[in-house]
Structure 1
Amino acid sequence: MNESGFNKLYWGFLFIMLSFRIQGFDILPDIVGYLFFASGFSQLISNSKYFSIAAKYNMPMIILSILSIYQAPAQSGGINLGLLGIFSIPIAIASFVLNLLVVYNLFMGINDMAKKREQTDLVKESEEKWNQYKLLQIASVCSFILIFIPLLGVLYIIAILVISIVLTISILGFMKRCTESLGN
């Protein structure tokens, strides 16, 4: 049961961390990732209270992520708020905060499980992965500020993209190790 739960968390991270759009449609929609998370949390909930907390924050993310499946491509320069106009801003802020709460509780649930099984390497790594994820999310938000400085903004966004790919691979590897060490 734990192995299946961790596999679902693995797939959830793959979908929420990677975003590829073709003509505005996300071909790896976040909603699929949050549905994987929901299934994984339900299988792991008996192992840590943090998975229960993560599941509660995950429910609104399933709903909010529906709004990000399609984003109209920008036709001209400037800021494109999309179909919801000014309401996109509070929705984006809520999504940002809820996403951090889901992922924080996910990593703390793994941390809790690893402590109970005396897997000190996974305890330390879960804390590191949470800090890395949090910093990447904050850095991504900061890219909206630097976009107004053309050369610096482009370099910053390229750096964030590279870091995001490296962190995604790192988190997916961590989830595989959790499956092997905590999955039984």
Structure 2
Amino acid sequence: MSAGFHKIFWGFLLVFLKIHIVNVDILPDPLGYFLIFQGIKILLMDGSGDGKRAKWIAAGLIFLSIPSVFMWNNAGEQPAMLVQLYGTALSLLKLVLVFHVFRMVLEIAIRHGQSELKKRVASTFNTYMAVLLPVTIAESFLMNMSGDWLTAVSIVLIIAAVVMEIVFLVLLRALMKHPWEIAEA
């Protein structure tokens, strides 16, 4: 069980971190989604039904995120709009993936009789979705703003998104370190 959460944690960490050298992301998202896919496969061997959708979404994101490895040169209005649409689509698909990962984790916590863990996962899930869904939707409206409003709204959205991603990673780290074998006995 811990091995599955280990892969999922490192996969989401790779997707979260963006380090570019020249025009290439040295921590590629497809590798992160591959690790998430592998982690979900391990957890599915434990019998989690909700993870099947998460597994297929992660598999799709492996291929759909390949262009994100390269920074695109936004010369002109049309390519910039396409890049923004692509980025928004990836963000929405990642949000759907996280939704299904949370459901899978809730099912595992319930099946193992971990009521405190279930409460923590449910609380984090509700907060994550309440913050990230509006942030992801608001991103597509930023192109219609200008000046000080654009800067202020962008900063608030970025801070909210980063904080929630870190909260999610902390939860995954706790799941990775959780004594599952002891809990099952």
Amino acid at match of 1:72: W
What TM-score do you get using the length of structure 1 for normalisation? Answer: 0.81
2:137 pairs with 1:138: no
CA contact (8 A) 2:88 2:140 kept: no
CA contact (8 A) 2:88 2:139 kept: no
Matched with 2:99 is: 104
Cα distance in structure 2, aligned partners of 1:73 and 1:141: 24
Check 1:64–1:126 CA distance in 2 against 1; reply closer, same or farther (3 A cut). Answer: same
Q: Secondary structure at the match of 1:9?
A: helix
Check 1:22–1:79 CA distance in 2 against 1; reply closer, same or farther (3 A cut). Answer: farther
* 1:79 to partner: Cα distance: 4.4
CA contact (8 A) 1:11 1:33 kept: yes
Please, which runs of 5 or more residues in structure 2 have no aligned partner?
A: none
Identity rate of aligned residues, in percent? 24
Amino acid at match of 2:135: A
Matched with 1:125 is: 120
Check 1:92–1:161 CA distance in 2 against 1; reply closer, same or farther (3 A cut). Answer: closer
2:152 pairs with 1:179: no
* 1:86 to partner: Cα distance: 4.9
Cα distance in structure 2, aligned partners of 1:87 and 1:144: 11
RMSD value over aligned CA atoms?
Answer: 2.6
Please, which runs of 5 or more residues in structure 1 have no aligned partner?
A: none
What TM-score do you get using the length of structure 2 for normalisation? Answer: 0.81
CA contact (8 A) 1:108 1:126 kept: no
2:90 pairs with 1:95: yes
* 1:22 to partner: Cα distance: 4.1
Q: Deviations over 1:35-72 (max 9, x none)?
A: 11011011100331112221012111111000211132
Amino acid at match of 2:154: I
